[in-house]
Amino acid sequence: MTEIRFSGFGGQGIIRCGLIAGKALSLYDDKHATMTQSFGPEARGSACSSQLVVNDDKVLYPYITKPEILVSMSQDAYDQYEPNLRDDGLLLIDTDLVKPKPARAKIKTYAIPSTRFAEELGNRITANLVMMGFFTAVTKIVSEDAIKKALPGLVPDRFLGLNIKAFDKGYEYGLKLLDEEK
């Protein structure tokens, strides 16, 4: 079983990240996944998160307790959720918006300028898909193909091509980063 938390601020598409990953895993990667979400009373601007529990078998408890993977796309979300990341966890951050403290325990950190990449593609709102691509490449929890199959219906049709470009940008960056690590 794997516990994942996507976090950021309202309006970044954090909840959508959980929906996309959950749909991809459940429908196209033959896994079981549950998603829950939380956000502050303000719809936009406050810390929010979507949580996924992923398993090869049925998920018996849908809530995360101590996530193995934390994706943080805002400083507030990082500050709020990083202390609950497992000591041997994986932390993925947007370098444009998150300045992490020195890594504690055996936490492995990967960083991507997802907001800047999205702006270079012409629409800052696709930063979440840049991060999804990066997440897919670095974690290998879900397949590239499954994510792309999950996008229709979860992103507006008129922006599907741009979202796939954003995903590919993050995915390629993640693969390059892993290759450089070897």
CATH number, residue 66: 3.40.920.10
Asked which of 59-63, 67-71, 112-116, 158-162 is least confident by mean pLDDT, the reply is: 59-63
* Strand ranges, E, within the chain: 2-9, 32-39, 47-55, 69-72, 90-94, 108-112
Number of domains in the chain: 1
Of the pLDDT bands very low, low, confident and very high (cuts 50, 70, 90), residue 44 is low
Query: Shortest CA distance to 114 belongs to which of 92, 87, 147?
Result: 92
The pLDDT of residue 132: 98
Residues 21-40: pLDDT tens digits? Answer: 999 999 999 999 999 988 76
Range of the domain at 51: 2-181
Q: Between the CA of residue 17 and those of 11, 96, 118, 134, 141, what are the distances in Å? A: 12, 18, 15, 12, 14
**Within 10 Å of residue 107's Cβ, how many Cβ atoms?**
17
The pLDDT of residue 83: 95
Residues 130-141: pLDDT tens digits? Answer: 999 999 999 999
